[in-house]
Amino acid sequence: MFKIEQIKFPIFAGTLYSLIIVFIGSLIASLLLAFTGVTEASLPKLVYIVNALALFIGGFVSGRRGQEKGWYYGGMTGIMYYVFLLLLGFLGFNSQLGMHNVYYLLLSFVISALGGIIGVNTTRK
């Protein structure tokens, strides 16, 4: 049976963790919208929080698995994650590319790199 702990490539593992967290966060957000008094106006804040958490944890996982260069593994995880979301939005929803995408890419890099730095420093040597 396939286990996520068996993945050897740190960047791929971190991106996979990020996508799983976003999926779970989206499921929770949709349940909150359906069964509570939460309005759609508060949804953008929730989306940013879930994405930032997913980026941080993905960077943490990749940095911990890489065991060195946490900023690099974490940052590359953030870039891979954002490029995946960018392609999904561009190909699936016909979203436009603009300068705001560069800002989000840099922010994704920084958040994941921070997670990677912390992930490297929590490894046992």
Summarised one tens digit per residue, pLDDT across range 87-118 is 888 887 777 788 888 999 999 999 999 999 99
> Model-level pTM?
0.86
**H, E, C per residue of 24-61:** HHHHHHHHHHHHCCCCHHHHHHHHHHHHHHHHHHHHHH
Summarised one tens digit per residue, pLDDT across range 54-93 is 999 999 999 998 888 889 999 999 999 999 998 888 887 7
Q: What are the structural domain ranges in the chain?
A: 10-120
Q: What is the pLDDT of residue 5?
A: 57
d(CA 108, CA 63): 15
